[in-house]
Chain A
Amino acid sequence: MIEFFQNSIDTFNNTHHIIQLCILLTLLLIAAIIFSLLYLKNLRDRLKIKGRIESTYQKKYASDLIEYLYSADGENINPEQQKKVDYLTKCAQNPLKRKIIIKTFLKLRNEISGETADAIQNLYYQTELIKSASAKLKGKKWDAIARAIKELTQFEIKETHDEIILLINHPKKEVRNEIQKYLVKLFRFDGLEFLDVLESQLSEWDQIQLLEILNKFDNPHIPNLGKWLASENKSVVSFAIKLAKLYNQFNVKDDIINLFEHHDPEIRIQAISVVSHLGIYEAVSILKNNLFNRNLDEQIAFFKMMEDMSTPDEMDFIREFVNHENFYIRISAMKILNLITVDTDNTFRININDTELIIDNVLTKAS
């Protein structure tokens, strides 16, 4: 045996350097493969066990939660409920279990309101989950911080407001976004104050999330949008225009008109697009005046607006565009002149009552 090894090493030392390299490389690769296979097996086993644990606990916590809610008999917690609380508090010390407990609470909390929802909310405090979340706020990892803020948002914990505000200029945009959502969810329109000083861009994704949160509140108290419509931050302007439209802020007419000359074409188009919704009749003549200085997209937006805002005086003006080279402008013109009627699902009917006008032959008819 030892002779075999001795012989092998001798042969090895006697061979060419490149072959030595090849042998080493081969052995290295084989070792790496063996190691990877062992790691893979171990990994799969671990994941399987984790999966089983998770699903067991999911079922357990779901039934614990239901029993807790079900056995409520009055305002105060009865001993049976207290047992459940203690049990869940203990489990929540373990990070994996804590994650499952929170997920279970939220799965139900998000669907219901009223007494039952309040009870779940209460449970969040009683099981001291709030402590673990606030502790994470002080940590270093940005994803842990963001997740903690999200949890506090979902459970609407106002108490942590001051700790969270400290992080408002965190370098990571994910953290800043979670903070914005926290402020808006808990403090509604007052939470939008951050728009006053926001320097980074609010992406469409962020805007939609915030608007959807706001959408759920009844009796909205919309602050004056004027200062946001005039913001240096164009995403703030865009967001404010959306708010103006969603909440029918007829009082911002002048601000919207000012935006027709904004330096960003997207903002100009967005401003033109809200004219009909907000009924800004003064805008029509203003836009008509320098229509041809505007780019094509703005002109298309103008004609779309005119579909709802045009008056009989403007028919002659519109008639000139029935044969415009752009499809959308042609269709808008035809709709305004009532040559065609188009439904919301884009099906249409031709109402020719003027044989002199030629309907564009690329209107696709069924027959």
Chain B
Amino acid sequence: MTRARACLTVIVASLAAAGCFPITYRARQTLPGDPAVPAARAESVKTWDPTYAPGTTGAHAQDVVPVVTGAGFDATDESGERREYVLWGVRLDGGPGTEVVAMMWSPASAPRCQGGHPAYDLLLDRDRPKDLELLEDGLVHWERPFIVEGSRVVFGRFDQDPPLLHRASVVDLTLRRRDAAGDHEVCVRVPVTGPGVTYWSTKRWSLGYRIALRRAQAFTPGSTFSFSMGLGRWLGPVRLGLEAGITGTNNDAPDKGSPAGTWLCFTAPGPDCETANLGTFALDASGPFARWGRYWGLAWSLGYEVSFGALHRLDPATGDVLGRHVGAGGPRVGLRLFAGIPDLDGVSPFSPTSAWSVELFAAAAQEYYGAAGGHPLSYGVAVVGF
């Protein structure tokens, strides 16, 4: 019971952690801003940007609201909070010097520089030093306006608006320029979602989970249940993952009262079953190839898996429990229907993503050692997170 509880805790904790990583998309295909000078175009978007609410900071692992009074610094108010925002990045050619006054994210139909989400914070990419990996790419610029020289990325932090991520939208930059005619404000409109703008997720690493029910193994005809965890690395549109897990059946001794046959060996071992305790490892390549709407998509999967462990069965004649060790491995192919993270309009269907999926798979295996006794070809269904 303790073991089961510990396993459950690990599973729940890891599943809960899976959705806690910000996702950044980089623009692949963009449209120029209007007017053409100063030049501006979409650069990136972080669709889930958790940060402290204004006035909140971290102190000794607490979210606090600090104040300074005549009595000194006081950080005892623990009512601080964190919020999630959308962080849009626009590459702007500021030339010899352009002042950034404000930023607004709105539907493409909205009037320029009016009627959208105003940016709470404006950030500028770091110009130096680039070796400080701990610092974010963009630093908040509290002063307004701030000056952009040359080609830089200006970021704006906006309220979450999931529907707006899925329709044509624009980021409007209010800029101030100085020329021979004097100071004047310009509103540059940059299309960030909609026709002509495409994105690719910058996601590189991902945790993987796999809960599978398999009809048979090469060495036993009974069904087995497995849970695996792993780590994956996206290489372009392909996720290469390494999994390790446990595979087995209910460990109760085969029971003559349980149903005959091998379909339910994983949960209610009957007289035709063997109990299995196996370790499983797999190298898996997978990738999405189609998306519909905000969530749904299809992905392929191709892997090679190996299993090692012990099997036990009840000898019906003597009533003795007989054990044997087995090892087998072989290829596995699968098709996944997934519910992906609701990213934004224009993301390539081949782009890396995070998703939960249902996979139908087929697998072939050959014994490395131990007697065969199952089926060299098998199939099953799995719930896969990646």
Interaction A to B: no
